[in-house]
Chains A and B, each alone.
Chain A
Amino acid sequence: MRFVGFVARRLVGIAAVMIGVSVITFAISHLVPADPAIAALGDHASAEQIAAFRSEYHLDRPLPEQYLTYVGGILRGDLGRSIRTRREVVADLAEAFPATLELSLAALLVAIVVGIPSGVWSAVSRGRLPDYLVRVLSLVGGSLPVFWLGLIVIGLGYYQLGWFPGGGRIDLFVPPPPARTGLYVLDSLLAGDIVALASALRHLVLPALTLGYFSTAVIARMTRSSMLEVLGQDYMRTARAKGLQERIVVLRHGLRNALIPTVTIIGLTFGSLLSGAVLTETIFSWPGLGRYATASAVSLDFPAVLGVTLLAAVVYPVANLAVDVAYFWLDPRTQRG
């Protein structure tokens, strides 16, 4: 029951934050100094065309009414029509979201698979070469502009070595797998389509490495720091005194306890992955939310930009809630409140 109450309280909190989020996204849409009608229809549009456009997008109503229409739409799952693509924003987001999710999950996988062992290695080799190496690479990862790293990675992996494709989700001549989840790798596996799977994986490597480097650095640093704290605990000494192998002491007794703060960080990096995805997708022509947001913002397509912003603002607190739930199970102390 405590658990249900905890989740319910958090959901109410998220709902309250969402109201604030809707106010901010609505306010941003009205900061636009240029007239979206002229931006969409061009300078030569007639007065009737502009009036019809403003009426279609409710731009001719008073602000409070526009806000209520906007919130009512959100609650019905209607985020309006994109000025640029002329499609429902929800449909556009539904199409773009799986691409971003696939890229973010791949980046997170890179970060976990590389970051946690690096952090452990660094901690157990404290003050020696591997420790310095991991710390320097973490510092670099935390300071690198992701868009620059993307360009350098394309320069090397695509132009110089020719090992990986320079952009897109799948080769032009390979038909995408039948859409079940929208994640090409998973869909190819489900369909047993080896050609599509190989192509999707090859396209995923460079953007996932680029996007994942920052999170890898963060996770490695956090794992190192919590491992160092855990390594000095009494129960570690007890485990060694029992005659257990060092590897078992470190992994079974040390890492399990050190992972708790790392789990929190993994959840928090999801938000940074979404931010990073904007730039990574732009560089790698990855047809996800980030590229959609950038293209929409350039054309003053505010229903689309606000749709992405709103979705991103929902994903972040929900990811944090998922982390807190995981925390609740991982660390019995939090259950005592």
Chain B
Amino acid sequence: MADPTVGPLTLRATGLTLRAPIFSNALNVVSLVVIGAFAACAVFAPLLAPYDPLAQALGARLEPPSAAHWLGTDQLGRDIASRLIYGARISLIIGIVVVASAGVFGTFIGLVAGYAAGLIDETLMRVTEVFLAFPPLILAMAIAGALGPSLTNAIIAIAAVTWAVYARLARGQILALRHREFVEAARAMGASRARIIGLHLLPNAIAPLMIQASFDMGSAIVSAAGLSFIGFGAQPPTPEWGVMISEGRNFISTQLWLSLFPGLAILLAVGAFNLLGDGLRDLFDPRLRRTG
């Protein structure tokens, strides 16, 4: 049934054209605006940042927010606003790389397991279960600790603990779809396995994966900041949000803003991705839309 509030954006899902009222919900709009602002900061950081994020000004150490420094300066006189803006770039890259690599790998494993069934399915799902058995941050810390502390290794570690969810989701979708008429029809017409998986199953299984991706953008940003905070991720002087919170830790009793602003930036970015995930889930699952 047509919804009079449908906005200009429509999404294609579950084989049907779903006219998605993504802009009809105020919270969805808020989340998209925040994500847009976050992405703009990341892309245009050199144009938006008033100062060099690494430039030290020891004469202007620990200054509170002012007209010259909107969010104050840190213990080395670096402009916190500029570091936050450059930090958006790092966080966005972390989110995209983690979600893209874990999403593609996990989805591939799930598609193969779900379609092949039998022993291959059993084996792949047992391996997936093993990865799901670990509390993510502890496993990520063990991997990042073993590989050595760096942002790249933190990204590898987070991707390594994230892929299994996609494998399980994709497999579940394929199991639900593999005996549907349109798949049987493609098979009867002689379509190859790769064609059936790539052109018929994957596009119809994509909705829950997209929802998961939105949530994982947020959790990847938090995990990377957490690893940096305890010393296993980005290293100083990188303007990464977790590093900034860690550096502000010694000034928490006197200069709270050093840690306050990077934390708020994480909260805003992660909250927006979680809100978008909620919005997408509501769009794709009408049952949830009813219960609100």
Contact = CB atoms under 8 A, between A and B. Distances in A.
B137 interface: yes
B229 A21 contact: no
Contacts of B256: 152, 155
Contacts of A305: 141-142, 145-146
Contact of A21 (B133, B270, B274): B133
A145 B134 contact: no
A28 interface: yes
B146 A302 contact: yes
A309 B262 CA distance: 29
A151 B249 contact: yes
Given A20-B127, A152-B260, A155-B252, A279 B137 contact: yes
A313 B136 CA distance: 10
Number of contact residues on A: which range applies? 35 or more
B145 A20 contact: no
Given A275-B138, A297-B141, A143 B274 contact: yes
A97 to B, nearest CB: 14
B267 interface: yes
Interface centre among A23, A228, A232, A297 (most CB of B within 10 A): A297
Interface in B247-292: 248-249, 252-253, 256, 259-260, 262-263, 266-267, 270-271, 274-275, 288, 291-292
Nearest to B268: A143
A279 B226 contact: yes
Nearest to A305: B142
Interface string A118-159: 000000001000000000000110111111110110110001
A24 B130 contact: yes
A25 B143 CA distance: 9
B260 A228 contact: no
A33 interface: yes
A274 interface: yes
Interface in B208-252: 218, 222, 225-226, 229-232, 242, 245, 248-249, 252
Chain A binding surface SS class: helix
Interface in A133-189: 139-140, 142-149, 151-152, 154-155, 159
Interface residues of B, number: 47
Contacts of A159: 252-253
A31 interface: yes
B196 interface: no
A316 B139 CA distance: 13
A118 B240 CA distance: 35
B4 interface: no
Interface of B: 126-127, 129-131, 133-139, 141-143, 145-148, 218, 222, 225-226, 229-232, 242, 245, 248-249, 252-253, 256, 259-260, 262-263, 266-267, 270-271, 274-275, 288, 291-292
Going nearest first, the 9 A-B pairs with the smallest beta carbon separation are A20-B130, A297-B145, A148-B263, A275-B137, A159-B253, A143-B271, A31-B146, A143-B270, A275-B135
